[in-house]
């Protein structure tokens, strides 16, 4: 599995700044709801905030992978939704290393997806924690440049 199999070009966002972790989570959930899956935005944001209370999904080195499981609409043929956001101005995400976060990859998984979301989560983590991948994302000035980085043949398998 490659990360580009999990994310499409329209699922990549570059944002200049954000005021808080909560704002970013709300905005990302809103984007997933408007582009991928019609989910209950308020409920999913609450689930993500509850997950953050258990321990920050800020992994260190400027990377975070907020994630939650929720009910997907009955007519949905997907089991996960993924969105990648690059922030030009990093924010505090209460990461383990106390470093601010500028690369956020959100995963929303269906309650019915079994353990497949764990494979997806691991693939995303390996990709965005890879120094070369993170560098390419940070140097990108457009979503298209990030998409090109995702499709770089030098990217190794994510699973």
Active-site annotation, residues: 67
How many C-beta atoms lie closer than 10 Å to residue 8's C-beta? Answer: 14
Cα distances (angstroms) measured from residue 108 to each of 89, 102, 144 = 24, 19, 23
Separation between Cα atoms, residue 159 and residue 49, nearest integer Å: 28
On the CB side of 56, CA atoms within 13 Å amount to: 19
Are the C-beta atoms of residues 52 and 21 closer than 8 Å to each other?
A: yes
Are the C-beta atoms of residues 47 and 117 closer than 8 Å to each other?
A: no
Beta bridge partners of 69: 109
Beta bridge partners of 60: 63
SS3 61: coil
């Amino acid at each position: 599995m490659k990360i580009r199999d999990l994310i499409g070009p329209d699922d990549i966002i570059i944002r200049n700044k954000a005021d808080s972790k909560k704002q970013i989570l709300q905005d990302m959930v809103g984007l997933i709801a408007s582009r991928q899956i019609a989910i209950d935005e308020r409920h999913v944001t609450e689930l993500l905030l509850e997950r953050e209370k258990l321990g920050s999904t800020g992994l260190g080195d400027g990377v975070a992978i907020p994630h939650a499981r929720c009910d997907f609409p009955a007519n949905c043929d997907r089991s996960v939704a993924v969105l990648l956001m690059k922030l030009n101005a990093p924010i505090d995400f209460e990461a383990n290393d106390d470093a601010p976060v500028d690369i956020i990859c959100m995963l929303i998984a269906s309650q019915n997806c079994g353990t497949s979301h764990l494979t997806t989560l691991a693939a995303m983590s390996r990709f965005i924690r890879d120094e070369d991948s993170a560098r390419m994302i940070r140097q990108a000035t457009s979503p298209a440049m990030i998409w090109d980085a995702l499709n770089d043949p030098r990217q190794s398998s994510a699973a």
